[in-house]
Chains A and B, each alone.
Chain A
């Protein structure tokens, strides 16, 4: 990758990388540091990363950096694995439109995402928020395609139940 290619790649993916780190880490300072680190590592490895492989490389690196942060205990992480999914919510659920109008929608979605495990959050963000292809997600998370789909279905189910209980989904 040439220097001009690197500049284009950074301009194109910096916000995606930052958003991903922010969603996984839930900490602005750590997310910023992680995004910077991923982009600088791409510069250091630019000789071996082709332009067309830059996005998967960045996503994999960002994900690994996020997981490293979490494992080192730098970021508070709520573990949601294995919890019961119960579809119970208050009768007076506001619904997505009212929540969006009040500005609470994003906060409630973030809270629901926070409750997922980092691995579940990773697959949800990559697939449902960033709409990355399965192959790219599987490569980034270093897991077989079948495992990825099973994890995604489970994570969707947990998130759906949480959003339902919060009154976000109908």
Chain B
């Protein structure tokens, strides 16, 4: 029977094998009958109609694939970006703690120290800004615009360091 299956499979290519099988089938009615049954079965199975997928089931496939809103994918990308950003922040914080254990301590004293440092930094920046604005005010307003008018009435305002040249302002 093995040979008959090979015939059905198209595997029996050698002419001598095919002829040998045909000769056997002529003399062996059992093999001839089984081969006929196998061929009949193959024809019946090949002739079985497909069972079509119902239209509503196909529609559902389209709805969940090509027709699905792309927001899901975009949201997934956004979620991924947020997750990545969060991971970077956590990593950077961890690196910072490892590199600057005193400044980045987590106890109450460390927190107070950090707050004091921040306050000092703000005060320093404020002082710098005031100093700068004072210099600008004296140079741009009093020395070049207001002072000449005041000079007419005999009042001298302090000049800028550039204009002073060693003289003292006089009222």
Chain A residues with a Cβ under 8 A of chain B: 3, 6-7, 10, 14-19, 22-23, 31-32, 35-36, 39-40, 43, 96, 105-106, 109, 124, 128-129, 131, 134, 149, 152-153, 156-157, 159-160, 163-164, 168-170
Contact = CB atoms under 8 A, between A and B. Distances in A.
B46 interface: yes
Interface string B32-58: 001011101110111010111110011
A7 B66 contact: yes
Contacts, number: 93
Contact of B48 (A17, A40, A106): A106
Given A159-B41, A160-B34, 8 more contacts: A14-B58, A15-B52, A19-B51, A23-B51, A106-B48, A128-B41, A149-B5, A164-B37
23 contacts: A7-B66, A15-B53, A18-B53, A19-B51, A23-B51, A31-B51, A32-B54, A36-B61, A40-B61, A40-B64, A40-B65, A96-B40, A105-B44, A106-B48, A109-B45, A124-B45, A129-B46, A131-B46, A153-B1, A156-B5, A156-B41, A164-B37, A170-B36
Interface in B47-92: 48, 50-54, 57-58, 60-62, 64-66
Contacts of B58: 10, 14
Contacts of A40: 61, 64-65
Contacts of B52: 15, 18-19
A35 B2 CA distance: 35
Which size class do B's interface residues fall under?
A: 20 to 34
- Chain A interface SS verdict (over half): helix
Contacts of A128: 41-42, 45-46
B23 interface: no
Nearest to B65: A43
Contacts of B57: 18, 32, 35-36
A35 B53 contact: yes
Contacts of B53: 14-15, 17-18, 32, 35
Nearest to B38: A160
The CB with the most chain B CB atoms within 10 A, among A105, A153, A157, is that of A153
Nearest to A128: B45
Nearest to B54: A32
Contacts of A109: 44-45, 48
B38 A156 contact: yes
B60 to A, nearest CB: 6
B69 to A, nearest CB: 14
B4 to A, nearest CB: 9
A33 B46 CA distance: 25
A169 B45 contact: no
